[in-house]
């Protein structure tokens, strides 16, 4: 994912599924194959993909509404930003590892699901990205070719935001309307999972592993900075639930750690003159260092794998520039077995509950005026 570039400008019977309510469906109706699609914004795997990635990002009106000239502006911004962003990707190995990790997580999760949820097996893994290959429409066509009739769209953003999960669901609804007008493929949505015990445990394990690298005399005094991508206050003020959900993840993780260490939730990647949710990660680190704090662990709490915002922004820009060996980053979830087991448990529970989405998804942001958000919910939650 490269939301940062954004800031440089600004589901079992047919009837029951369509109602989006829990139902006691017969086991035969649940039989697979079941496609499980991990949704994310994605990132360019190679340097030549950077331009198209940026163009798709800036052209997304759900992410940044730029008015009727958006396609033209998107082309200009992508052209202008590509050299700098490509250089950043070159500095982290020539591309984002998010596709590699997403495909690995999907495959390993489905192996576990086939064992623990035989009623809906086989489970077929897919990855669908918003702005980079494999794009959502290409994945949708592949699922049709594979004969998938039951599908779960599983956001890989544990905490819901209209700008991430919401945008991905809006795109999926548009593609489904266009490529599957008869609704032969039945979808349900896992739209958030911020306090799942397995998620909290996986984060806590990685934090503890990093804490164990400090001298025991200072270990409990190491400051934990949970860093998440910020949002403009205009998005927050319309009722986006992202901040409270990120906070709930932090609390769940700290409970796993026994609240031994001092901690704060901070926000990264905000750029530009408009108000953003703070405090900013970079400013927080600088301020703490100026006060004499030399031992900190930055925890990317809203990301489920490495990408440019962990490998470049956190590692190279924020941590690297301090020159302090006591300032470190907790490993991203990536291939964590505990995390992948959590993914499988979330999908298993979702399939057993037989719902289309969480009640929270069915409630739009109180001040939302987006037609895309309205029509995508109408698509997934429509009545018979």
pLDDT in tens, 194-229: 999 999 999 999 999 999 999 999 999 999 999 999
| ∠ CA 48-54-60, rounded to 5° | 145
Instruction: Tell me what pLDDT residue 30 has.
Output: 58
Res. 17: pLDDT tops 60: no
Cβ neighbours of residue 25 closer than 8 Å, sequence gap 6 or more: 12, 13, 16, 354
Q: What is the mean pLDDT of residues 324-329?
A: 97
Average pLDDT, the chain: 90
pLDDT band at residue 27 under the 50/70/90 scheme: very low
Q: pTM for the whole thing?
A: 0.90
For 68-109, what is each residue's pLDDT tens digit?
A: 788 898 899 999 999 999 999 999 999 999 999 999 999 999
User: In which band, very low, low, confident or very high, does the pLDDT at 272 lie, cut at 50, 70 and 90?
Assistant: low
Q: What is the pLDDT of residues 244-259, one digit of tens each?
A: 999 999 999 999 999 9
- pLDDT above 50 (res 295): yes
Does residue 177 carry a pLDDT above 80? yes
Over residues 274-295, mean pLDDT: 95
116-164 confidence digits (pLDDT tens): 999 999 999 999 999 999 999 999 999 999 999 999 999 999 999 999 9
Q: Is the predicted pLDDT of residue 173 greater than 80, yes or no?
A: yes
Pairing of strands 123-129, 34-40: parallel
Residue 19 scores a pLDDT above 70: no
CB contact set of 92 (below 8 Å; sequence gap of 6+) = 308, 311, 312, 316
Q: At 24, is the pLDDT very low, low, confident or very high (cuts 50, 70, 90)?
A: very low
Contact by Cβ (8 Å): 328, 319 = yes
What domains can you pick out in the chain, each with its CATH number?
A: 3-194+338-381 (3.40.50.1400), 197-329 (3.40.50.1400)
Mean pLDDT (whole number) for 345-363:
95
Q: Quote the pLDDT of residue 11.
A: 34
Confidence of residue 274 (pLDDT cuts 50, 70, 90): confident
3-state secondary structure of 266: strand
Listed as own residue / partner, the contacts of 245-251 with beta carbons closer than 8 Å and 24 or more positions apart are 245/158, 245/159, 245/160, 245/192, 245/194, 246/159, 246/194, 246/301, 246/302, 248/159, 248/194, 248/195, 249/158, 249/159, 249/194, 249/195, 249/199, 249/200, 249/203, 249/301, 249/302, 250/226, 250/301
More confident residue, 290 or 20: 290
Please say if the pLDDT value at position 366 is more than 60. yes
The torsion angles phi and psi of 265, rounded to 5 degrees, stand at -100, 125
Indicate whether 10 pLDDT > 70: no
Average pLDDT over residues 301-327: 96
Active site residues: 196, 345
């Amino acid at each position: 994912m490269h939301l940062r570039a954004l800031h440089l400008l600004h589901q079992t019977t047919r009837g029951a599924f369509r109602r989006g309510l829990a139902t006691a469906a017969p086991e035969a109706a649940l039989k697979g194959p079941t496609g499980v699609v991990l949704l994310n914004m994605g990132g360019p795997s190679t340097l030549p993909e950077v331009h198209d990635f940026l163009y798709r990002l800036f052209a997304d009106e759900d992410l940044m509404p730029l008015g009727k000239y958006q396609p033209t502006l998107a082309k200009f911004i992508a052209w202008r930003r590509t050299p700098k962003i490509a250089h950043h990707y070159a500095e982290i190995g020539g591309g984002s590892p998010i596709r590699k990790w997403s495909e690995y997580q999907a495959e390993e999760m489905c192996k576990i699901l086939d064992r623990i949820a035989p009623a809906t097996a086989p489970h077929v893994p897919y990855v669908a990205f918003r702005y980079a290959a494999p794009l959502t429409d290409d994945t949708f066509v592949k699922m049709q070719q594979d004969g998938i009739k039951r599908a779960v769209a599983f956001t890989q953003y544990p905490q819901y935001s209209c700008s991430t999960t919401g945008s991905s669901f809006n795109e999926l609804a548009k593609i489904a309307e266009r490529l599957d007008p008869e609704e032969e493929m039945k979808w349900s949505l896992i739209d958030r999972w911020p306090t799942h015990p397995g998620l909290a445990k996986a984060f806590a394990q990685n934090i503890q592993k990093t804490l164990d690298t400090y001298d025991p005399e200072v270990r409990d005094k190491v400051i934990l900075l949970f860093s998440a991508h910020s949002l403009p206050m205009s998005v927050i003020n319309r009722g986006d639930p992202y901040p409270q959900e990120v906070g709930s993840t932090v609390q769940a993780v700290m409970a796993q750690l026994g609240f031994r260490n001092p901690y704060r939730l901070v926000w990264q990647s905000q750029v530009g003159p408009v108000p953003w949710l703070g405090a900013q990660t970079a400013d927080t680190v600088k301020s703490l260092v100026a006060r004499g704090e030399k031992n900190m662990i930055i925890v990317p709490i809203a990301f489920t794998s490495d990408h440019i915002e962990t490998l470049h922004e956190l590692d190279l820009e924020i941590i690297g520039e301090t020159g302090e060996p006591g300032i470190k980053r907790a490993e991203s979830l990536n291939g964590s077995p505990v995390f992948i087991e959590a993914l499988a448990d979330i999908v298993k529970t979702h399939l057993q509950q037989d719902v289309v989405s969480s009640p929270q998804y069915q409630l739009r942001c109180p001040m939302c005026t987006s037609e895309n958000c309205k029509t995508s919910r109408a698509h997934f939650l429509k009545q018979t």
